Amino acid sequence: MDKIRIVGGNALSGVIPISGAKNAALPLMIASLLTDETLTLENVPRLRDVALLTRILSNHGVDYSLNGKRAGEDHLTGQTIHLRASEIVDTRAPYDLVSQMRASFWVIGPLLARAHEAKVSLPGGCSIGTRPVDLFLMGLEKLGAKLDIDRGYVVSSAPGGLRGAEIVFPKVSVGATHTLMMAATLARGETVLVNAAREPEIADLAKCLIAMGAKIEGAGTGTIRIEGVERLHGATHRVLPDRIETGTYAMAVAMTGGDLMLEGTSPDLLDNALDTLTAAGAEITPTNAGIRVKRNGHGIHPVDITTEPFPGFPTDLQAQFMALMTRASGTSRITETIFENRFMHVAELARLGARISLDGQVATVEGVDRLVGAPVMATDLRASVSLVIAGLAAEGETTVSRVYHLDRGFERLEEKLSRCGAIIERLGGEGAR
Phi then psi for residue 127, to 5 deg, are: -90, 60
The span from the CA of 17 to the CA of 190, in Å, is 40
List the catalytic residue out of 30, 44, 83, 126: 126
Which CATH code is given to the segment(s) 22-238? 3.65.10.10
- Reply yes or no on whether 126 is catalytic: yes
- pLDDT mean over 47-74: 86
Report d(CA 370, CA 159) in Å as an integer: 63
Largest CA-CA distance found in the chain, in angstroms, rounded: 65
pLDDT of residue 429 exceeding 80: no
Does residue 50 register a pLDDT over 90? yes
**Single-letter amino acid, residue 242:** D
Spatial neighbors of 419 by CB under 8 A, at least 6 apart, are: 14, 15, 16
Equal CATH topology for 3-18+241-427 and 22-238:
yes
CA 425 vs. chain centroid, Å, equals 24
Share of the chain above pLDDT 90, in %: 83
pLDDT value at residue 144: 98
> Could you report the per-residue pLDDT of 161-208, keeping only the tens digit for each?
999 999 999 999 999 999 999 999 999 999 999 999 999 999 999 999
CATH no. of 3-18+241-427: 3.65.10.10
pLDDT at 433: 43
Rounded CA-CA distance 66/72 in Å is: 17
Q: How confident is the model at residue 404 (pLDDT cuts 50, 70, 90)?
A: confident
The pLDDT, as a whole number, for residue 69 is: 63
H or E element that contains 384: helix 381-393
Distance CA 160, CA 188 (A): 10
pLDDT at 127 over 80: no
pLDDT band at 431 (very low <50, low <70, confident <90, very high): very low
CB 305, CB 279: distance < 8 Å: no
* pLDDT the model gives residue 133: 87
Tens digits of residue pLDDT in 228-279: 999 999 999 999 999 999 999 999 999 999 999 999 999 999 989 999 999 9
Annotated binding site for UDP-N-acetyl-alpha-D-glucosamine: 102, 131-135, 171-174, 316, 338
Domain boundaries, the chain: 3-18+241-427, 22-238
Phi, psi (degrees; rounded to nearest 5) at 117 = -160, 155
What is the mean predicted confidence (pLDDT) over 117-142?
A: 77
Do the strands 375-377 and 397-401 form a parallel or antiparallel pair, or are they unpaired?
Answer: parallel
Residue pLDDT, tens place only, 288-338: 999 999 997 678 999 999 999 999 999 999 999 999 999 999 999 999 998
Mean pLDDT for all residues in the chain: 93
* Residue 121 pLDDT grade (very low, low, confident, very high; cuts 50, 70, 90): very high
Q: Is residue 109 a contact partner of residue 140, using CB atoms and an 8 Å limit?
A: yes
E strand or H helix that includes residue 176 = helix 174-184
The Cα 402–Cα 413 span in angstroms is 15
Helices (H) and strands (E) in the chain, counts: 14, 24
What pLDDT, on a 0 to 100 scale, did the predictor assign at position 125?
Answer: 42
Look at residues 422, 421, 420, 431 and name the one whose alpha carbon lies nearest to residue 17: 420
